[in-house]
Amino acid sequence: METSQNSEPCTSPSPPAPGDTACDLVTVPARQGLEAVDILRRAAADAVGPVLHDDDRDTLGFLVPAGTAAGWDVPGSTCTETNGRGLRLAPEPPVAGADWLLPPGDDADLATDPAVLREALGEAARLIEAADKCC
């Protein structure tokens, strides 16, 4: 697995308000997302950016650099653009009903490298499929 990371912070086409960034958000089912977080953290502790956990929808959301949504094609996931609206990376989650699994600044990079995330999600899907077939 490639462990390089994107060192570019999430950026905005217009000057952001303090604490705002323009990132896209990759959303996956919680089970696959948790497995992917484990894979990313084992590969390199700083290969994963902030991650949101939405209990109501049973999903995880990975912050990725702006522009990722344009080419995102991973089955079972969605990538949503922020359209330059910015995303507040503060202690409180930016989405109602969600909590930070990996908060900004706590062992998290500014954004997860989309190529590394794609590989981790694929590996997680294969591990889950194998576990489900096994038992």
Per-residue pLDDT of the chain (135 residues; tens, 9 = 90+): 333 334 444 543 333 444 556 789 999 999 999 999 999 988 865 678 889 999 888 999 999 998 999 999 999 999 998 765 555 555 566 667 788 898 887 555 678 999 999 999 999 999 999 999 986
Whether the CA torsion 131, 133, 58, 89 is positive or negative: it is positive
Q: What is the CA radius of gyration of the chain?
A: 14
CA–CA dist 38, 96 (Å, integer):
25
Task: Establish if 114 belongs to a structural domain.
Answer: yes
13 close to 84: Cβ distance less than 8 angstroms? yes
Q: Where does the chain have alpha helices with state H?
A: 30-43, 114-134
Task: Establish if 81 belongs to a structural domain.
Answer: yes
Task: Establish if 34 belongs to a structural domain.
Answer: yes
Task: Establish if 11 belongs to a structural domain.
Answer: no
Geometric angle at alpha carbon 7, from 95 and 52, rounded to 5°: 20
Question: What is the number of domains present in the chain?
Answer: 1
Site of tokens 């794609």: 118
DSSP 83: T
Task: Establish if 5 belongs to a structural domain.
Answer: no
Q: What is the pLDDT of residue 85?
A: 57
Per the structure, the complete domain to which residue 97 belongs is given by: 23-134
Task: Establish if 102 belongs to a structural domain.
Answer: yes
Task: Establish if 73 belongs to a structural domain.
Answer: yes
- 115 exposure class (CB count in 10 Å sphere: 0-12, 13-18, 19+): middle
Site of tokens 């956990």: 53
Task: Look up the pTM and report it.
Answer: 0.78
Task: Establish if 6 belongs to a structural domain.
Answer: no
